[in-house]
Amino acid sequence: MAMVKKSISITSQQDSWIKTQIETGYFGNESEVVRELIRERQIGEEETPAEIKAIRKALIEGEKSGFSDLSIDEIWKEARQRHKMKHA
């Protein structure tokens, strides 16, 4: 597919986020980050796989629930128990 060069303006915060995405090693350059974001929008929320929707929902619920008094080991133990119950 032919490539078309574009010039865009972004905030410094967006620039930092893009650079962080590249530093993780998942993307090789800024263009890859932007193209992936466009692809995600093209697919649309209605076509997002159910597993990704479930993960997003769980993350939102987790953020809303606040802080936990449990240790990280207790959190993992509880997560494993839930997983076993779901898949038993």
Q: What is the dihedral of CA 47, 52, 54, 56, to 10 degrees?
A: -110
Q: How far apart are CA 30 and CA 25, in angstroms?
A: 12
Which residue carries 């629930």 as its tokens?
Answer: 65
Q: What is the pLDDT of residues 33-88, one digit of tens each?
A: 999 999 888 877 666 778 888 888 888 888 888 888 889 999 999 999 999 998 87
Q: Give residue 15's pLDDT.
A: 96
Q: How far apart are CA 14 and CA 20, in angstroms?
A: 10
Q: What is the pLDDT of residues 6-47, one digit of tens each?
A: 999 999 999 999 999 999 988 999 999 999 999 888 877 666
Q: Give residue 55's pLDDT.
A: 87
